[in-house]
């Protein structure tokens, strides 16, 4: 313990307690209470030196000593900086920290504020070189112990997974946990089988997700599913009766929900979709504003591209520049840009289209047009609001086609971009959103 205490005045002693796990904390007298009782007894023994325990509690139940991200410790350090504490008392050094570097930071805080650190069960003086050496040795062993425990846990998990044992965590849809084992939940398992079988029929996660959302299909946590959730289900080898550890699959001790035949069919579709997306990404990126974008002088802006160090840079350049035509403004006013980064312009146009689609007059026009196609108002409004989601799922070629349907003309001026929307084309785009085509939607 640290006996570098200045006598002759009242010393405010803060007791800090910690326990790594939450096990046993609900007991009437737990580990934190035992640590506090020992510290209070020690402080009482130093009453003649003016030691008094503070009323505030600094407890961290269920927090690891491997880092400083603990609410009780943060409050303790804040009170130290405010000058409210003279002595920090712990049962053992490793209650405060199990990491040598972290403890060094704490010691710096203590020294800066003139605070003394005391361990009830370990004797040392942090003001001497020998005391600091003793402290470092104790902390090194504490850190070593923490790392060894971590290695043992990781080895145990790896060995258990290789034997197919479920080691806790997220419980997948279709299963419940009984006696620490995965057991099939028949009602949920039927839903899982339907997801796999329906995906084989449609071949499209996008279409399946929209279908299931219309039916308000929910995950095990009660949230509406999306395409990302579907992919996680379709790729989860638990449903094949396997346990996976670090990318390797082992026969699980739980029952499979889907057959090998269905799994292989789904896997083949997923593999094919991935190759299709890869091939598509290697295709030349289309210029969705080709034929639509002009300068305020009426000159067309044509798409161009250049490669530097293997990276493609796309632009829209005025034909005045390409043809070396004079672009001076005789009135002396500011000239519109004649060369613009394609990505910046295209993003701005898409943002403006999204804004216009939400305006009341466009919504009214779309509802009237779709009413003739016996599309419900709720479906149309939902599709308008889902435009952002759908756009992110489209291939570049399909995005370019949508822009051509929605945009009549883009004019580049010195003040910015002016966008003229084809409002008559909005209803057709929304109609496609409600009934997407198989081949043009990204999987």
Contact call for residues 319 and 300 (beta carbons, < 8 A): yes
> What's the confidence (pLDDT) of residue 54?
92
* Spatial separation of the C-alpha atoms in residues 303 and 326, rounded to whole Å: 20
> Residue 351, class by beta-carbon neighbours within 10 Å (0-12 exposed, 13-18 middle, 19+ buried)?
exposed
For 369, residues 6+ apart whose C-beta sits below 8 A from its C-beta are: 426, 427
Q: Is 136 helix (H, G, I), strand (E, B) or coil?
A: helix
> What's the confidence (pLDDT) of residue 210?
85
pTM: 0.37
> What's the confidence (pLDDT) of residue 76?
94
- Over residues 92-118, the pLDDT tens digits come to 877 887 776 777 788 888 888 988 888
**11-144 and 175-283 share one fold:** no
Top-level class of domain 175-283: alpha beta
Q: Which CATH number does 11-144 carry?
A: 3.40.50.1390
The parts of the chain modelled with pLDDT lower than 70 are: 1-8, 100, 123-132, 134-135, 138-139, 141-143, 146, 153, 157-158, 160-169, 245-247, 273-285, 326-334, 370-380, 382-384, 386, 388-390, 392-394, 429-443
Sign of the torsion angle spanned by Cα atoms 166, 171, 177, 182: negative
> What's the confidence (pLDDT) of residue 294?
92
> What's the confidence (pLDDT) of residue 58?
93
Contact call for residues 304 and 317 (beta carbons, < 8 A): yes
* Spatial separation of the C-alpha atoms in residues 26 and 29, rounded to whole Å: 8
* Spatial separation of the C-alpha atoms in residues 383 and 159, rounded to whole Å: 49
Domain coordinates of the chain in residue numbers? 11-144, 175-283, 293-326+333-434
């Amino acid at each position: 313990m640290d006996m570098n205490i200045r006598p002759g005045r009242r010393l405010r002693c803060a007791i800090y307690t910690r326990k790594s796990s939450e096990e046993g904390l609900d007991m009437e007298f737990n580990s934190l209470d035992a640590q506090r009782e020992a510290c209070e007894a020690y402080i009482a023994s130093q009453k003649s030196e003016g030691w008094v325990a503070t009323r505030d509690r600094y407890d961290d139940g269920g927090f690891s000593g491997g880092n400083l991200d603990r609410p009780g410790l943060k409050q303790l350090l804040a009170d130290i900086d405010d000058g409210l504490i003279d002595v920090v008392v712990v049962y053992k050094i490793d209650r405060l920290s199990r990491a040598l570097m972290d403890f060094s930071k704490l010691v710096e805080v203590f020294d800066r504020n003139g605070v003394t650190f005391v361990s009830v069960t370990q004797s040392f003086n942090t003001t001497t070189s020998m005391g600091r050496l003793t402290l470092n040795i104790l902390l090194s062993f504490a850190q070593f112990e923490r790392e060894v425990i971590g290695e043992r846990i990781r080895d145990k998990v790896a060995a258990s997974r290789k034997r197919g044992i479920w080691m806790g965590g997220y419980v997948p849809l279709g299963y419940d946990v009984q006696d620490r084992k995965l057991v099939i939940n028949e009602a949920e398992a039927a839903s899982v089988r339907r997801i796999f079988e329906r995906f084989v029929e449609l071949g499209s996660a996008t279409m399946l997700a929209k279908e299931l959302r219309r039916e308000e299909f929910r995950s095990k946590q009660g949230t509406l599913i999306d395409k990302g959730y579907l992919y996680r289900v379709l790729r989860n080898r638990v449903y094949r009766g396997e346990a996976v550890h670090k990318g390797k699959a082992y026969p699980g001790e739980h029952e499979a929900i889907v057959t090998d035949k269905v799994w292989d069919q789904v896997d083949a579709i997923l593999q094919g979709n991935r190759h299709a997306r890869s091939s598509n990404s290697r295709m030349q990126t289309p210029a969705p504003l080709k034929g639509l974008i002009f300068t305020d002088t009426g000159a067309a802006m044509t798409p161009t591209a250049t490669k530097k160090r293997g990276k493609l840079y796309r632009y829209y350049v005025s034909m005045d520049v390409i043809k070396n035509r004079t672009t001076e403004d005789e009135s002396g006013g500011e000239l519109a840009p004649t060369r613009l980064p394609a990505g910046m312009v295209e993003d701005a146009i898409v943002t403006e289209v999204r804004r216009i689609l939400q305006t009341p007059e466009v919504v009214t026009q779309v509802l009237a047009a779709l009413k003739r196609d016996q599309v419900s108002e709720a479906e149309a409004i939902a599709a308008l609001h889902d435009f952002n989601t759908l756009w992110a799922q489209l291939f570049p070629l399909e995005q370019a086609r949508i822009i051509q349907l929605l945009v009549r003309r883009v004019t580049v001026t010195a003040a910015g971009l002016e966008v003229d929307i084809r409002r008559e084309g909005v209803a057709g785009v929304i109609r496609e959103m409600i009934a997407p085509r198989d081949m043009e939607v990204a999987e």
